[in-house]
Amino acid sequence: MKSLRAQLLLRSVLIVMLLLLFIGVLQYLLMGQFLYHRTALTIQSEILGIPDSTWTENVLNPQPQSDAEDHHDSPFESAFGPLQDKANSIAFIDTSMQFHSIQVDASLGASPKLAKQVYQQLLAQGKAGNQYQLMANHQGQMQLVVLQTVGDHDSIHGIVEVATSTTNLQEELVRELLIFVGLTVFALLLAMAVFWPIISRTLIPLSRLVEMTSKINAGNLDARFSPKGAQTEIRQLADSFNAMLDRLDTSFQAERIANAKMRQFVADASHELRTPLTSIHGFLEVLLRGASQNPEQLARSLKSMHSESNRMGKLVNDLIFLARMDQVPQLLVKKADIAEVIHEMEPQLRLLAKDRTVVFQLSPQLFADVDIDKIKQVILNLFHNAVSHTDALLGEIKVFAYQEQRSIYFGVQDNGEGIESSLIPNIFERFYRVDSSRSHKIGGAGLGLAITKSIVDLHHATIECVSEKGAGAMFQVILPTHY
């Protein structure tokens, strides 16, 4: 059976059946012992109820019978009372081990002669000597043999041996067994009738869980199982299942967001690549119409195409870099002084700033485990971003680096146009530009800060922006030190 309800019912009934079977076997054995012991006690009581003189007068010293008594079948016809009224074979063993057969039952035969050691042990016990045992006669019929010593206060006369059939006892045992079997069948049927609704009610929470899981698919992960009123195991299963659904829902949402970002990324990349290609295509058309014959127009067209090709080359390189960072990014980490790394870049940064004012505030001995080339790229990207958003003559740019506790802070601050606070959460997204038209004029594709964020994340660091519209901007990296 594959049904859990049916399996639980079957196993419960099987346990009850095995328990009843054990009880039945135990009861059969104990009942048999009880019946044999009770019968033996009854026969021993009947033997002890016969006067002692009966054994001496009728067995040990029998009197000759008169002619008037010849018609009697036995000289002891009424001497032994109830013992002779039953289907018993009776014998007497005197102290000299002489075996006297008193009565022989036709179906049982004569009472069996036991080993002398048995009789001797009983005689040694005195008047307290008694025992019984089961044994088969010469026909294979089981009989109960009861032994009891008899005598007066002064001496023991002998042993009375009574053999009786166990047929009646076996029949009584069979009747008891049949009654028990009937009660067992009734108990099993009652157990099935009682267990089925109990098991069904117990499995209701599990059934609800199964029904709920059948309704869940990739597009419907909002359903949750309420473990209220359920058993501990079902509650634990429900909690684990709900936690799994939460993880799946989070994963699917993350996948949907990633797919949306990927589609947006592809669209933005296509747009950014199409713009320089369109410009180059336009200049080529102008040249094909005859502008190539005009040296001034030819020079201007070639210069523009060169600029657009450089822009397209930088965009492709940035895209390749981001693709590598997304797949298997690798860092060549070694201990370095961040202040020294920035100091080495000072000539390049001042050249990039042109007429802008550049200030370096660098604390010494800022050691951390970093990839030096990628940290330089972070500084260069942040500095280039500051140059792009400050005035060519009035612009002021500060490059700083210092340490607080176990973190190194470094970055770039400018006095440019600043960023609205509502836009700051988006500035590290790929192809995001605060001012799209201005970014095109300065050649930006919106990938610099995205690349910077990827590098910072690889170093298990964080980057933050503090800015207000018209009040400049500060980008700083918080890098944990590793010693």
Token pair 């007429």 is found at 355
Cα 332-337-342 angle, rounded to 5 deg: 95
pLDDT band of 398, cuts 50, 70, 90: very high
pLDDT above 90 as % of the chain: 16
pLDDT band of 483, cuts 50, 70, 90: very low
What is the average pLDDT across 411-431?
A: 85
Lowest mean pLDDT among 52-61, 107-116, 447-456: 52-61
CATH topology of domain 331-480: Heat Shock Protein 90 (3.30.565)
pLDDT at 441: 46
Question: Where do the domains of the chain lie?
Answer: 4-63+75-173, 216-328, 331-480
Buried b vs exposed e over 21-44: b needs ≥16 C-beta within 10 Å? eeebeebeeebbeebbeebbeebb
Q: How far apart are CA 19 and CA 32, in angstroms?
A: 20
The model's pTM is 0.46
Q: How far apart are CA 82 and CA 140, in angstroms?
A: 26
User: DSSP secondary structure string, 287-320?
Assistant: HHTTGGGSHHHHHHHHHHHHHHHHHHHHHHHHHH
CATH topology of domain 4-63+75-173: Beta-Lactamase (3.30.450)
In this structure, the number of other CB atoms found within 10 A of the CB of residue 291 comes to 17
How do residues 348-360 score in pLDDT, each as one tens digit? 899 889 899 999 9
User: DSSP secondary structure string, 237-281?
Assistant: HHHHHHHHHHHHHHHHHHHHHHHHHHHHHHHHHHHHHHHHHHHHH
- Straight-line distance from the first to the last Cα atom of the chain, in angstroms, rounded to the nearest whole number: 64
Widest distance between CA atoms in the chain: 177
In contact, 334 and 362? CB cutoff 8 Å: no
pLDDT at 438: 44
29-38, 263-272, 298-307, 316-325: range with highest mean pLDDT: 29-38
Instruction: Please name the CATH architecture into which domain 216-328 falls.
Output: Orthogonal Bundle (1.10)
pLDDT at 14: 87
Q: What is the CA radius of gyration of the chain?
A: 56
Cα 12-16-17 angle, rounded to 5 deg: 115
What is the average pLDDT across 274-300?
A: 73
Exposed, middle or buried by CB within 10 Å (0-12, 13-18, 19+), for 409?
A: middle
pLDDT at 60: 66
Judged against a pLDDT cut of 70, whether residue 209 lies above it is answered with: yes
